[in-house]
């Protein structure tokens, strides 16, 4: 349990928030994967819209388990929770229609989405089709920058695509996301005419769980529990991280304004894994080390860096939370979890 309540930065644009709040007034929203990192962060954004602009938004969250339900109190309290598995046809059929649906379910952690590849495929394909038919006004599919796997260039734009094959180690996730994008962007004869796609890249922040297996989370937990941040490779791979408050602001902009289009959603804070580890160690006041040669094979991309100019133009976003400030918030969140 948290030792104290999460205090969000709420670094949102007031102009953007006012516009989105007016568009969502009186609506119903479903967020799948609602107790995951992005689900909780989107709950926080809805709570911000309610409190700041005095709008009524009826929110429903779904998740496979309710284990992370206590965390939601740090982000917002007013929502309906539906526990269910998106691979269960009967559960999907029982869901009512919603004005807007954000399909954010499914693990974004390689160590998890590869444990059950058929589940990974199903959540991004079959469930996407079923959910798409439940959205009356707008549908947002949260895809991934993994779509670009195989490209080594930086600042990848939405008109590019990766080069991996269906037998790539991460193919269940990559191909599932590709299918989900297609299902989302097809013209519909009922409900929302078009859906929108957000290719999310490396979101981080408060809301992550202790068992999160992404690199940043592992380094933070290791630093707190072991008193040292030790990498398993030289840490020369590049990552561009996006703080969750920046990410959700872009996601809601894509949902409300980007129908029928694909948008990259990411940040501006590019760093190597080595530099990331050093920042975490510095913040925690612990030792840092990295080997000169990798201790195990790594199928992850060499450089994850996407061009977010399209979505920035869509919502007029210019300011992003710095990696240093975002890390401070994330580390404090983990310290609270461990206490």
Cα–Cα distances in angstroms (integers) from residue 315 to residues 12, 24, 45, 107, 255, in the given order: 11, 16, 15, 27, 11
Say which CATH class 14-204+241-266+301-320 falls into: alpha beta
Q: Which two tokens stand for residue 184?
A: 């989302």
Predicted pLDDT at 191: 79
Whole-angstrom Cα distance, residue 264 to residue 259?
A: 14
Give 71 or 320, the one with higher predicted confidence: 320
Is 44 within 8 Å of 71 (Cβ atoms)? no
Domain ranges of the chain: 14-204+241-266+301-320
Could you list the beta-strand ranges (E) of 5-63: 28-32, 58-63
For the chain, the average pLDDT equals 91
Confidence of residue 2 (pLDDT cuts 50, 70, 90): very low
Task: Name the residue among 60, 24, 68, 22 with its Cα closest to residue 43.
Answer: 60
Bridge partners (DSSP) listed for residue 265? 200
pLDDT in tens, 13-51: 999 999 999 999 999 999 999 999 999 999 999 999 999
pLDDT in tens, 45-100: 999 999 999 999 999 999 999 988 988 988 988 999 999 999 999 999 999 999 99
Q: Region 178-186: what's the mean pLDDT?
A: 96
Predicted pLDDT at 290: 92
């Amino acid at each position: 349990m948290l030792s104290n309540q999460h205090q969000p930065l709420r670094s949102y644009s007031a102009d953007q928030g006012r516009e989105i709040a007016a568009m969502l007034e009186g609506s119903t929203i479903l967020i799948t994967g609602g107790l995951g990192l992005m689900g909780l962060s989107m709950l926080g954004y809805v709570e911000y819209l309610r409190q700041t602009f005095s709008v009524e938004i009826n929110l429903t969250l779904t998740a496979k388990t309710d284990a992370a339900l206590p965390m939601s109190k740090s982000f917002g309290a007013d929502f309906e929770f539906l526990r269910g598995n998106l691979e269960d046809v009967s559960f999907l059929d029982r869901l009512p229609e919603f004005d807007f649906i954000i399909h954010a379910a499914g693990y974004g952690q390689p160590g998890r989405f590869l444990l059950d590849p058929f589940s990974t495929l199903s959540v991004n394909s079959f469930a996407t089709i079923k959910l798409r038919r439940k959205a009356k006004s707008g549908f947002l599919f949260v895809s991934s920058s993994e779509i670009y796997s195989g490209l080594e260039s930086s600042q990848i734009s939405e008109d590019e695509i990766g080069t991996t094959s269906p037998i790539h180690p991460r193919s269940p996730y990559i191909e599932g996301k590709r299918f989900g994008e297609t299902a989302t962007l097809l013209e519909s004869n009922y409900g929302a005419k078009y859906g929108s796609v957000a290719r999310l890249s490396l979101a981080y922040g408060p809301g992550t769980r202790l068992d999160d297996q992404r690199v940043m989370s592992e380094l933070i937990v290791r630093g707190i529990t072991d008193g040292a941040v030790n990498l398993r490779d030289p840490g020369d791979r590049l990552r561009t991280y996006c703080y969750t408050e920046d990410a959700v602001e872009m996601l809601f902009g894509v949902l409300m304004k980007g129908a029928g289009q694909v948008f990259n959603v990411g940040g501006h804070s590019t760093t190597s894994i080595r530099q990331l580890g050093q920042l975490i160690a510095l913040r925690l006041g612990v030792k840092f080390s990295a080997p000169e040669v990798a201790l195990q094979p790594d199928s992850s991309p060499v450089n994850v860096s996407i061009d977010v100019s399209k979505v920035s133009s869509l919502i007029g976003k210019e300011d992003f939370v710095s990696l240093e400030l975002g890390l401070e918030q994330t580390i404090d969140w983990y310290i609270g979890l461990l206490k």
